[in-house]
Amino acid sequence: MEFVGIGVLSWITFLPIIGMILILFIPKENQKAMKWTAVAATFLQLVLAVMIYFHFNKGSLGINTQEGMQFVEKMSWIDIRGVPWFGRIHVDYFLGIDGLSVPMVILTALISFIAVFASWKIPKALKGYMAMLLLLDTGMMGVFVSLDFFLFYVFWEVMLLPMYFLIGIWGGPRREYAAIKFFLYTLLGSVLILLAMIALYFSVTVPDGATGERMYTFNMLAMMNPANFQPGTLLAGVGTYWRHLAYIALFIGFAIKVPIFPFHTWLPDAHVEAPTAISVILAGVLLKMGTYGLLRISYPMFPELANYYSWALALVAVINIIYGALCAMAQQDFKKLIAYSSISHMGIVLLGMAALNTQGMIGAVFQMFNHGTITAMLFLIVGVIYDRAHTRDIDAFGGLAITMPKYTGIMTVAFFAALGLPGLSGFLSEAFSFLGAFQTHRVLTIVATLGIVLTAAYMLWTLQRVFLGQPNEKWASLPDINGRELFTLVPLAVIVLVLGICPSLLLDLMTSSLNHLVEVVRAGAVL
Amino acid sequence: MVDQALLSLAKFLPEITLAITFCLALLVGVIFRSRPRLSMWVALLGVVVSIALTIREMGITESVFSGMIAVDPFATFFKLIVGSSAIFIFLFSLYSAEVLSTMKRLVEYSSLLVAMTLGMYLMVGATNLLMMVLSIELTGLSSYVLAGYTKEASDSSEASLKYIIYGALSTGLMLYGISILFGLTGGAMDIYAINRALVTSPVNPIALLVASLLIIAGLGYKISAVPFHFWTPDVYEGAPITITAFLSVASKAAGFAMLIRFFKIAFIDSSAVGLPAGIWITLQGFEWNKIIAILSVLTMTLGNLVAVWQNNLKRLLAYSSIAHAGYMLMGLAILSDKGIAAVLIYFVVYMFMNLGAFYVVMLVSNKTGSEDIDSYKGLGFRSPFIGVSMVIFFISLAGLPPTAGFIGKLFIFASLLDAKWIWLAVVGAINSVISLYYYVRVVRNMFLRDPDENSGPLKFSVPEIVLLLLLVVPTLLFGLYYSPIVDFANASARMLGVH
Amino acid sequence: MLESYVPIFVMIAGGVIFGVVMVKLNEWFGPHRPNDEKLSTYESGMEPIRSARERFSVKFYMVAMLFILFDIEVVFLYPWAVSFKQLGLGGFVTMAVFIFVLFLGYFYVWRKGALEWD
């Protein structure tokens, strides 16, 4: 699929940048034009995502073959022949998607579009805000579509700065602290990824298409083929010391993003201080990048270690689930509660991944998507109430169901989806994850199911405290949810409902790729 | 003898140009006393001509003046770095309130800058101990005076005095080291002869260690490596911003060039055979690269940790430049041409981003008269373009993509991992995380804090903005398309007499 | 290796010991009969007027430096004059450049007004 000779993936990635440049040229006073430009850019992006959805070939495998990738764009970006002792440096502009990335691409487009609407009432420096939001959008999309590690890393880092500003300028009272904490944590992860990336680069060579000369490469697909690892290089072999180190470095890098206990402490701060739309993006898309990185990079490149450490991953997954849920239960702050529930829910993704079988893997990726939509809803819901009451203290509310019936209705959908009520999408992905994990890590999975109970407990308890009971006089005059807010919430609610009833709409896209991923990981020698 | 010298002159044109420029700038200055800017234009023109002549020398590998100076790609590369930063500094000076406030001393300013540039041109090519010392002294003496250029400001005089005292001490130490080396090798002054002597007849390793440590002290002072860095913060803070910028880029470049050339030629085992291309080994029993590695760890860690506590932006940048010297030293420790090439790449990048950061500091201090981080509050709203440019320079200094600084770090780390110096790479990586913290402190003040009540928007003239763009654009462009600088650096890692 | 330096150490030690011993012997055996005249500052037989630690005008330094400059020029000019024939044209050009550079400095100093005493 091409438009004006440029592939659809380039368009979907760089549309926001075009929007950003346009916004920078709009005069300061014309706020409406800025908002609508941002809407246009993200809307076009969403349209492209929908087109990708319909044109996506559900049968192709992807993961480690270029043939299995779809909408591939490959161009030489950097090619330095230089002098013999340096070797040839080659970086490709290499985009492509498969069943693993397509749900994320759709999710990113969707969440970005909604985030623009959720930012309608930004009080100051709208121009900068919209520009940063769109830059962030490009960074996120780029991470999910790039198949060259160098490119992946550039996109991964491009996201940091806009996120820092979005939290730091437009955030809550402790925004500076939260922003710098987010920045430093993520950068620490990034440099570890960088080191692992360089080590991989110097271990993998591929023949040049034209001359057959072997050259180093950042091509992720080449890094997944054990035959490409040159003997004697740092990461050659199976289960060597250096491979362990590289795997752990990558793991920590991605774990900070997920976030996995004990690297999670930036998350509650960032969520609480960030403006609503940014919380939505943070929970909806950014956290997925960590697990996506593990699946796209760590698993197929280090299959033997993915097997070796699967129990450890299951263990941290269980810790995430239980710890997140317990922390959520103790929160007074609505946003913090959802932040901790995110940690708990991402634990389920990890558990599914640790299963190393098809059910678990499907559960994990499906849960990534569902968590993206459901948590986005939850944050939007908090945003709605915060805009009106200017407090997020759960105990300050009560009986809102009477004053804000429409709001309560949509909130109920989100809450029940989050606690995994059958018939809503969250249930299916959790069920798949647990089902898969039960086959591999029996005891841990049983412990993890305790998390479901806890989740139900804190979700219902919160629902009760906020919406049921005696109406609080103070909030009697709160207006109900308005059209714009409904417009952001309803599509997500519809997706949650539809996927709960007919999950194959999304599962079909990813099944063959994830099956193949499991095969690839399983085929890697077991230590 | 004389004929040979005359022949060498043909390969010495850039330096001759600078020497003549120095004289001319001085003459023009004292003849046309009513038009002090004239000598600055003369000086600028002379440096441009010298760069043009240097470009003509690209690819030549030759030794001139009976082995005193090498004209090789390595030297040419550093001459270009030094020369281009000199041009930038002259352009900065045209808009620097600090420099222009002392109009009657502009002649000395311009001519001494040329003299300093000349000294650095000689430093990067010196292959003889005598030439090394002389060129260091020429650079040093000019810079001592320039550091105290705004003598009405007490901190500038203080800077000058501190600089000269530390300079004298370190040159003294270096001379002492050189004389020990001279004695050990039986009277060799030429660094190639030193190497031959050391390879053929092993000497007392302790004496050699002492000699090399003393020489490192002298050169470490120039590149402000820990523990020879004590002068740096005070001098950087006190000296006029243009001079600080020049010291932080050109002076460091020249020091590095000399350090790399000296160690790579004098202290490697040139008799070793069967090594892969681009890899060398140290002399038997004298692993000086470990010293360099330790020095680099100390330098970047201390530089970064102390920078965190700074409230004056010039001081902060001083410590940051110390840290950057640490990153670059890593490239020398791994004993491979890849490492050297990585250092060269880093220098190209460093020139743009560091000069850019100092230029912004200068522009802001022109308007606000302050270099305090607090005075940057809300700068991003008072002058968005300046603010955004500063952010770009800072994230580049911190080494984040898609800026050129990332490419510099990438190649340094890549050469480290390629040589299996994992621990050093990890230390470097952690350091770059620390560095982010203090760079972001400034960014925070610019964008996250509101400006003071009575501070309106800052306006800058078109030429000032254009000059800024000349630095911003490469900083971004080389981050996305870095083939040219990598090719250039690769071709320039070649030194006279090393294969 | 270090053995070859032993004579030097012996020499240094001998020097230090001799010096200290001589000074101390003088102190122990010499008569001590101080008076006001003896304890006062000796200034070529003149009465010291005020503290010796005062600042000289920078002009003195200027003159001193200029003197040294031209003094050195003369030091170089003599050998050149002696072997003028052997050095030939190359030597002449070299010296011409050298003198020109010094002249440049002189010109600069003159124009800057460093030669004017007031």
Cross-chain Cβ contact B23/C91 below 8 Å: no
What is residue A273's DSSP assignment?
A: H
Partner residue facing A169 (CB), from B336, B391, B447? B447
Q: State the CB neighbour count (10 A cutoff) for residue C34.
A: 7
Q: Domain for residue A82, yes or no?
A: no
Cis-peptide into A262, omega within 30 deg: yes
Partner residue facing A168 (CB), from B417, B448, B490? B448
Handedness of CA C18, C22, C24, C28 (dihedral sign): positive
**How far is Cα A322 from Cα A316, in angstroms, rounded to an integer?**
10
- Distance set, CA B2 to CA B65, B66, B189, B281, B326 (Å): 10, 11, 21, 38, 43
The full 3-state SS of chain C, as one line of letters, equals CHHHHHHHHHHHHHHHHHHHHHHHHHHHHCCCCCCHHHHCCCECCECCCCCCCCCCCHHHHHHHHHHHHHHHHHHHHHHHHHCHHHHHHHHHHHHHHHHHHHHHHHHHHHHHCCCCCC
Instruction: Say which residue the tokens 């004695």 belong to.
Output: B183
SS3 B453: coil
**How far is Cα B391 from Cα B444, in angstroms, rounded to an integer?**
10
Crossing angle (nearest 10°) for helices A126-145 and A149-158: 160
Q: Domain for residue A503, yes or no?
A: yes
Cross-chain Cβ contact A202/B418 below 8 Å: yes
Element (H, E) at A91: strand A89-97
Task: Find the distance separating the first CA and the last CA of chain C, reported in whole Å.
Answer: 62
Handedness of CA B340, B343, B345, B348 (dihedral sign): negative
Cβ atoms of A115 and A38 closer than 8 Å: no
Cross-chain Cβ contact C101/B23 below 8 Å: yes
SS3 A406: helix
SS3 B63: strand
Residue C48 — very low, low, confident or very high, per pLDDT cuts 50/70/90?
confident
Closest CA to B3 of C79, C93, C77, C84: C93
Cross-chain Cβ contact C107/B33 below 8 Å: no
User: Most A CBs within 10 Å: which of B338, B417, B446, as the mutation test of the A interface?
Assistant: B417
Cβ atoms of A15 and A103 closer than 8 Å: no
Length of chain A, in residues: 527
Partner residue facing A82 (CB), from B402, B447, B490? B490
Chains that touch A (3 or more CB pairs under 8 A): B
Query: Please, what's the b/e burial string for A149-184 (b: 16 or more CB within 10 A of its CB; e: otherwise)?
Result: bbbbbbbbbbbbbbbbbbbbbbbbeebbebbbbbbb
Q: Domain for residue A502, yes or no?
A: yes
Amino acid (1-letter code) at residue B8: S
**How far is Cα A148 from Cα A350, in angstroms, rounded to an integer?**
24
**Higher confidence at residue C56 or residue B258?**
B258
CA distance A434 to chain B (A): 37
The most distant pair of C-alpha atoms in chain A lies apart, rounded to whole Å, by 79
Residue A476 — very low, low, confident or very high, per pLDDT cuts 50/70/90?
confident
Q: A221-225, B15-19, B355-359, C9-13: which has the minimum mean pLDDT?
A: A221-225
**How far is Cα A235 from Cα B422, in angstroms, rounded to an integer?**
12
Contacts of B5 in chain C (CB under 8 A): 90
Task: Find the distance separating the first CA and the last CA of chain B, reported in whole Å.
Answer: 29
Cβ-Cβ pairs closer than 8 A, A with B, add up to 103
Question: What is the chain A residue with the closest CA to B278?
Answer: A85
Tell me, yes or no, if C113 comes closer than 8 A to chain B by beta carbon: no
Cross-chain Cβ contact B406/A157 below 8 Å: yes
**How far is Cα A143 from Cα A473, in angstroms, rounded to an integer?**
48
Tell me, yes or no, if C34 comes closer than 8 A to chain B by beta carbon: no
Q: Above 90 in pLDDT, residue A62?
A: no
Q: Domain for residue A38, yes or no?
A: no
- Distance set, CA A410 to CA A145, A384, A404, A427 (Å): 32, 12, 10, 17
Q: A211-215, A496-500, B75-79, B333-337: which has the minimum mean pLDDT?
A: A211-215
Partner residue facing B23 (CB), from C1, C88, C104? C104
Q: Mean pLDDT for chain A?
A: 88
Contacts of B207 in chain C (CB under 8 A): 1
Residues 47-106 of C with CB under 8 A from B: 87-88, 90-91, 94, 101, 104
Specify the pLDDT at position A83: 66
CA distance C113 to chain B (A): 10
CA distance B107 to chain C (A): 11
Q: Above 80 in pLDDT, residue A469?
A: no
CA distance B252 to chain A (A): 25
3-state percent helix, strand, coil for chain A, nearest multiple of 5: 70, 5, 20
What is residue B377's DSSP assignment?
A: T
Question: What is the chain B residue with the closest CA to A153?
Answer: B401
- Distance set, CA A8 to CA A40, A108, A110 (Å): 17, 15, 16
Counting Cα atoms < 13 Å in the Cβ hemisphere of B309 gives 5
Which burial class, exposed, middle or buried, applies to A93 when counting CB atoms under 10 A from its CB (0-12, 13-18, 19+)?
A: middle
Cross-chain Cβ contact C107/B27 below 8 Å: yes
Task: Find the distance separating the first CA and the last CA of chain A, reported in whole Å.
Answer: 43
Residues 478-497 of B with CB under 8 A from C: none
Chains that touch C (3 or more CB pairs under 8 A): B
Question: What is the chain A residue with the closest CA to B446?
Answer: A169
Q: State the CB neighbour count (10 A cutoff) for residue A78.
A: 17
Q: Which residues pair with A2 in a beta bridge?
A: A7
Q: Which residues pair with A90 in a beta bridge?
A: A79
Closest CA to B390 of B472, B470, B321: B472
Number of structural domains, chain A? 1
Q: Domain for residue A442, yes or no?
A: yes
Chains A and C touch (3+ CB pairs under 8 A): no
> β-strands A70-80, A205-207: how paired?
unpaired
Low-confidence stretches of chain B (pLDDT < 50) are 499
Contacts of C1 in chain B (CB under 8 A): 204, 207
Q: Domain for residue A348, yes or no?
A: yes
pLDDT over 70, % of chain A:
98
Average pLDDT estimate for C35-43: 79
Q: Which residues pair with A148 in a beta bridge?
A: A219
Contacts of B493 in chain A (CB under 8 A): 83
Specify the pLDDT at position B498: 64
Contacts of B204 in chain C (CB under 8 A): 1
Cross-chain Cβ contact B30/C112 below 8 Å: yes
User: Most C CBs within 10 Å: which of B6, B8, B23, as the mutation test of the C interface?
Assistant: B23
**How far is Cα B93 from Cα B267, in angstroms, rounded to an integer?**
40
User: Most C CBs within 10 Å: which of B2, B7, B201, B206, as the mutation test of the C interface?
Assistant: B2
Q: State the CB neighbour count (10 A cutoff) for residue B242.
A: 27
Question: What is the chain B residue with the closest CA to C91?
Answer: B2
Closest CA to A265 of A210, A152, A185: A185
CA distance B203 to chain A (A): 32
B399: its two tokens: 């080494």
Query: Please, which contacts does B3-7 make with residues 24 or more away whose CB atoms are closer than 8 Å?
Result: B3/C90, B4/B66, B5/B65, B5/B66, B5/C90, B6/C90
Contacts of C87 in chain B (CB under 8 A): 2
**How far is Cα A56 from Cα A71, in angstroms, rounded to an integer?**
9
Residue partners of B351: CB distance under 8 A and separation at least 6: B81, B84, B85, B249, B253
Question: What is the chain A residue with the closest CA to B391?
Answer: A161
Cβ atoms of B293 and B426 closer than 8 Å: no
Counting Cα atoms < 13 Å in the Cβ hemisphere of A164 gives 24
pLDDT tens-digit map of C81-117: 898 888 888 888 888 988 888 888 888 888 888 788 7
Identify the domain containing residue A389 by its residue range. 309-527
Tell me, yes or no, if B151 comes closer than 8 A to chain C by beta carbon: no
**How far is Cα B271 from Cα B197, in angstroms, rounded to an integer?**
12
Cross-chain Cβ contact B30/C108 below 8 Å: yes
A218: its two tokens: 């950042």
SS3 A79: strand
Q: What are phi and psi of B218, to 5 degrees?
A: -65, -45
User: Most B CBs within 10 Å: which of C95, C112, C115, as the mutation test of the B interface?
Assistant: C112
Specify the pLDDT at position B1: 59
What is residue B287's DSSP assignment?
A: -
Q: Report the alpha-carbon angle A104-A148-B396, nearest 5.
A: 95
**How far is Cα B109 from Cα C15, in angstroms, rounded to an integer?**
50
Q: Note the pTM of the prediction, 2 decimals.
A: 0.89
Domains of chain C, each with CATH number or no CATH: 2-112 (1.20.58)
Specify the pLDDT at position C106: 86
